[in-house]
Amino acid sequence: MEHAPRIAMLSVHTSPLDQPGTGDAGGMNVYVLELSRALAARGARVEIFTRATSSDLPETVVLPGAEADGTPLSDDVDHERVREILTAHDVPAGMRPPVLVHHVPAGPFERLDKNDLPGVLCGMAAGVLRWEAARRPGWYDVVHSHYWLSGQVGRIAADRWEVPLVHTAHTLAKVKNAALAPGDDPEPAARVLGEEQVVQEADALVASTPAEAAELVELYGADPARVHVVEPGVDLERFAPVDDDERAASRAALGLPADRDVVLFAGRVQPLKAPDVLVRALGVLRESGRPVPLLVVLGGPSGRSTAVRELQALAEITGVGDSLLIRPPAARDELVTWYHAADVVAMPSRSESFGLVAAEAQAAGVPVVAAAVGGLRSIVDDGVSGVLVRGHDPKRWADVLADVLADRERLSSYSAAARRSAERFGWESAADQLLKVYAVARERGSR
C-alpha cells in the first residue's frame, strides 16, 4: 500500500458526536472519535459511518481539529475542497487529512433501541456501499467496525470491497450475561450469534486488555493469532492533575461544598454500571453512624427512561436522598472540572471491557475505587493508584469508601500514583499500534 491507509470506520448504533453518559453513548464514542483523530494525525484518511437519527443532520460533518496546509478546518470548511481531497489518489504534501463523519439513512429517523437495530442493518450496509460506489473501486483499504452491529455491516462492506475487516467488540454479550445485575435483562441470543459470526470472519480482532483477548479466545473460539491487544488512550493534556487551590476552585465553580467528601460516578445510569451499589453503600454508612460523603452521579438514563428517577427514589428510601446529587452528562472540558472536584471516582460496574472513566480520572490525579472486573483490573493498580473491590456488596463498598476517605495521606499517595499509572495510555500509541494491525490484516487477506 503506497498511500496512507483509507479507513472506513463503522459506528452504527451510536455516533462519535453524541454526548457520552446517556442512552447508548459512552466510552466507545470517545474511543472512535479520539482514535480517528490520532490516525489522521499520522496521515490516514478516516471516514466514520454512523446511522442518521434525524433528517436535520448533515450528510457529512468534518470533525473540528483537522488541519489542511496549516489552516484549521472548522464548521464552515469548504466542503468542495474536502471532496477534492478525498477523491484525489494521495493526500497533497503537507496536508493533514480531515476526519469525516457520514450520517447514513437506515430505517426511521429516530433513535432506536439496540435490540431493534438488526432490522435496519441491510439499509445501513447499502448506504455505506454507496459511498465507495460514488468514488472508485478500491477506495478503502480497511474496514474497522466497532460493536457487533457494526461488525455485521462491516462483514458485507469488507467482502464487497475485498479488504480486511478489523473489529473491536467493546463489550461482549457472553461476558455481560455472566455478570448481570439482579433483575437485569440478559443480552438476546441474536446478539450472541451475531458476535460469534463477526469473531469468526474478522481478519483481526482488537481487544483493549489481555483479559478481553482471553475472553474472545475462550468464550468465542477466536483464533489467538488474529487477536491483538491495543490499549485505548487518554487525552493526557486535557485530563491533568491540579493543585489544592485549583481543586477548591473547581468545587466552587460547580457549587459543591468545600468541607464535605465527594464521591463521583460518571457514566450511564443502568444496572450494568451499578450506581445503585453506591447509593446503598451510603445507606450503610448512615446506619452505622459514619460520615456520609456526597455522591455525585454525572450521567443520564440508559435502557429505561425512568432509571434516574429510580436511583433518586432508592436514595430517598435508603435515607440518603440529601447525599445524592444527580447531574446530566458533561462535555469533555466540563468533565475534567468534575474530576478535579472529587475526592475519589467510584466505578462499581458489573462488567467493563476497559473503563475509560477510570483512566481519565487517574490522568487527572484522582484516585479510583472500582470493581475488580474486566479492564478495570488493568487500569487501577490496587493499593497504589486506588482500590479494587471484589463483588458488589454495599457493606464492602461502604467500608472501602470510608477507609479511603478517612486517610488523607493515603489519598494523596493514590493521587500521585494515579497520574503516573495513566501516563502509559496515549492515543498516539494506540494509533501507531492500530496501523500495524491494519497492515497485518491486509497481509493476511492477500494470502
Q: Which residues are documented as binding site for UDP-N-acetyl-alpha-D-glucosamine? A: 19-20, 27, 268, 273, 352, 360
Q: Which residues make up each annotated binding site for Mg(2+)?
A: 339-340, 342
How does DSSP classify residue 111?
-
What b/e string do you get for 203-228 counting C-beta neighbours within 10 Å, with b at 16 or more?
A: bbbbbbbebbbebbbebbebeeebbb
Q: What secondary structure does DSSP assign to 8-66, as a single string?
A: EEE--SS-TTSPTTSTT-SHHHHHHHHHHHHHHHTT-EEEEEEE---TTS-SEEEPTT-
Asked if residues 400 and 369 have their Cβ atoms less than 8 Å apart, the reply is yes
Q: Give the residue carrying C-alpha cell 466540563.
A: 334
Residue 143's DSSP bridge partners are: 8, 165
* CB-neighbour burial class of residue 287 (10 A; exposed 0-12, middle 13-18, buried 19+): middle
Asked if residues 102 and 50 have their Cβ atoms less than 8 Å apart, the reply is yes
Q: Which residues make up each annotated binding site for 1D-myo-inositol 3-phosphate?
A: 13, 24-29, 114, 147, 171, 191
* Nearest one of 337, 378, 139, 106 to 239, comparing CA atoms: 337
* Half-sphere exposure in the Cβ direction for 8 (13 Å, CA): 29
Q: Which residues make up each annotated binding site?
A: 13, 19-20, 24-29, 114, 147, 171, 191, 268, 273, 339-340, 342, 352, 360
Asked if residues 100 and 47 have their Cβ atoms less than 8 Å apart, the reply is yes
